[in-house]
Amino acid sequence: MGLRTALRRIAATRVAVLLVTAPGATAVRLAVEAGVRRRGPAWGWAESPAAANALLVAAGPGHQAGGTLPDSLPGRLWDLLPHPKARATAAGEDEAGPALDSLAEALAAGPGWRSGSAPGGPGRQARKGAGGQDTELVAGLPMAERGDDRDGLRLDVLHLPLGPALPDWPAGLVVDVALQGDVVQEARVRPLSGPGALPPSGDALPYWDEPWLRAAHGESVSEGAAHRRRCAAHLDSLGRMLGVAGWPGPADRARRLRDAALRGAPAGVLLPGVQALRRRVERSRTLRGLVRGLGPLPAARARELGVDGPALAAAGDAYDRLLRWPTEAERSAAGVDSTALLADRRPVGPRGRLDGPRPPSRALLDALPPLLAGAELAAARLIVASLDPDPDELLGEEAPHG
């Protein structure tokens, strides 16, 4: 008894957080990430529900009520976590700290472990056959049907949603893929408001585009603040891409620099760090060998789709796009101390022009399906990360204000 209690006490000091971010809650996510890092070695991130003992929902200011979102993703994920477990919702930057503390408290005080196994996991997450009709069920799961594959074989097709609760994945995005083996035969981007998606949260401006949109609305925004936001946005994208590529050290470095940029570090501190990171990324021949050739998006095709920003400037494959981020982040880092007012020009956010008919992330999402078809699952993840669409930008489009 004594030993078991002691072991549980040690176990309760460790928190593996599964973070689910609602579209529009980027600021909350950043606050949570910084909070987890500040809390030291006992805190870490879980890659899947099975690995977690704490579920944290980063919701936007729109989610005020109680933090429970019945019949939606957080509830389903919560059922998948093994005991002992804790959950919390942070609906705003200032709630991130208290939410994390409440997780630790709940784990320390928790009812502990119930006997028996945790309930059924998602298993093969295929629920519907192609076209949405129900297929034959075994153990409540549909059987795979067959189709022609990339290499001329006739193999089973598995319908699988990618997202929304994947590590290093755009908030709330769901891509429905038809897999044969681990080769994506077909990909479809689900609308954010579709089934299984987190409801949009609030009517705040997209976090990464905020300075330019404010300036366009006539508020006075300093150039330095805009540079800061752009630098952090690119470092965020870079960190995610490196995370998917499986290079945890530099990915973590990119996130630390991102947080430093947002906290207001002067250019003299920020710039050398970003430069060192850029050199490290550019010098890795292994990274180049692994990412080269994935998801080619030549300039002509990008322009046709309406893609703008780094993805257009890179005019190449996922590796070219990956390298744009540290380069542009470095350029922005040099200007973070500028106090001049953001001139009244066309607003250009980290992902492209903001005054066009559609937000830049919409074009990035439109570019996805043809690039994903024929890619292996790992390559597909890298392609999504290399375009890094920002679902925040789509909220205004899909869920009009009011």
Partner 1 sequence: MAETAPLWAVVVLPLALVVLAGVAAGADAVLSAAHGGAGAWRRAADPWREAVRLLVQQPRRTRAADRWLGRIGIGLVPVAAVLAAAVVPWGLRPVTDPAVGVVWFNAMEALAWAAVWLAGWGPNSAFSLVGGYRFLAQGLAYELPHMLALTTAALGAESLRVGAVVAAQRGLWFVVWMPVAFAVHLLSAAALAFWGPFAHPLGRDVAGGAAAEWSGPDRLVLLAGRWLLLAAGAAFAVPLFLGGGHGPLLPAWLWTVVKTAAVLAALLGLRHLVPTVRMDRYMEVAWLVLVPLTLLQALVVAVVVLGRR
Partner 2 sequence: MFGDVVFWVLSAVAVAAGVMVFRFDSMARATYALLLSLLCVGGLVVRLGLDYLGVVIVLMMTVEMALMAVFMVMYMMNPAGLMPMSMLHNTKGAAVVCGGLFVLLAAGIVLAPWPHRRGRPGDDATRALGESLMGPHMLTMMTLGLALFATIVATVVLATRRGRYDRFGDALRAPRADDPARGGVGR
Interface positions, 280-309, toward partner 1 (CB under 8 A)? 284, 286-287, 289-290
**Identity of residue 221:** V
Residue 153 Cβ, how far from partner 1 at the closest point, in Å? 16
Contacts of 281 (CB under 8 A, 6+ apart): 238, 242, 250, 287, 322, 323, 326
Mark residues 234-273: x for contact with partner 2 by CB under 8 A, - for none: ----------------------------------------
Of 29-37, 86-94, 285-293, 385-393, which segment contacts partner 2 by CB under 8 A?
A: 285-293
Task: Write down the least CB distance from residue 279 to partner 2, Å.
Answer: 22
Among partner 2, partner 1, none, what does residue 374 contact (CB within 5–8 Å per kind)? partner 2
Smallest gap from residue 371 Cβ to partner 2 (A):
13
Please choose which of partner 2, partner 1, none residue 113 contacts, taking the beta carbon within 5 to 8 angstroms, the exact cut-off set by kind: partner 1
Which residue is listed with tokens 């997450």? 125
As measured in angstroms, the least distance from the Cβ of 199 to partner 1 is 23
**Residue 121 within binding range of partner 2, rule CB under 8 A:** no
| 16, 141, 216, 334: which one binds partner 2 (CB under 8 A) | 141
Asked if residue 110 binds partner 1 (CB under 8 A), the reply is no
DSSP 222: B
What whole-number distance in Å separates Cα of residue 52 and Cα of residue 47? Answer: 8
Contact 86, 54 (CB under 8 A): yes
Q: How far is the C-alpha of 366 from the C-alpha of 189, rounded, in Å?
A: 8
Q: Which two tokens stand for residue 109?
A: 């005080």
Contact 15, 107 (CB under 8 A): yes
List the end-to-end C-alpha distance of the chain, in Å, as a whole number: 57
Compare residues 317 and 330 and give the one whose CB is closer to partner 2: 317
* Interaction residues for partner 2, span 152-191 (CB under 8 A): 152, 155-156, 181
Q: Does 98 bind partner 1 (CB under 8 A)?
A: no
User: DSSP secondary-structure letter at 82?
Assistant: P
Residue 139 binding partner 2, by CB under 8 A = yes
CA–CA gap between residue 125 and residue 399 (Å, rounded): 27
Residue type, 313: A
Q: Which one of 86-94, 330-338, 363-371, 377-385 is the stretch in contact with partner 1 (CB under 8 A)? A: 377-385
- Residue from 76, 98, 125, 136 binding partner 1 (CB under 8 A): 125
Query: Which residue bears the tokens 């910084």?
Result: 34
Closest residue by Cα to residue 386 from 282, 296, 251: 296
In the list 108, 155, 160, 269, the residue contacting partner 1 (rule: CB under 8 A) is 160
> Which of 8, 14, 124, 358 is in the footprint of partner 2 by CB under 8 A?
124
Cβ atoms of residues 20 and 165 within 8 Å: yes
**Helix 248-263 and helix 267-283, axial crossing angle in degrees, nearest 10:** 160
Q: Which of 90, 379, 382, 384 binds partner 2 (CB under 8 A)?
A: 379
Could you tell me the CA-to-CA distances from 389 to 71, 171, 183, 240, 328 in Å, in that order? 26, 9, 22, 12, 17
Bond prior to 199 in cis (omega within 30° of 0):
no
Q: Is 298 in the site for partner 2 (CB under 8 A)?
A: no
| Chain-centre distance for alpha carbon 261 | 19
Q: Does 16 bind partner 1 (CB under 8 A)?
A: yes
Q: Does 4 contact partner 1 by CB under 8 A?
A: yes
Q: Given the complex with partner 2, which of 51 and 141 has the nearer CB atom?
A: 141
Q: State the pairing for strand pair 175-180/154-162.
A: antiparallel
- For residue 26 the two structure tokens come to 């980027």
Sites of contact with partner 1 (CB under 8 A): 4, 7-8, 10-11, 13-14, 16, 37, 41-42, 47-48, 50-51, 53, 80, 82-84, 113-114, 116-126, 138-141, 158, 160, 166-168, 179, 181-182, 242-249, 253, 284, 286-287, 289-290, 376-379, 381-382
Residues that bind partner 2 (CB under 8 A): 124, 138-139, 141, 143-144, 150-152, 155-156, 181, 289, 292-293, 374, 376, 379
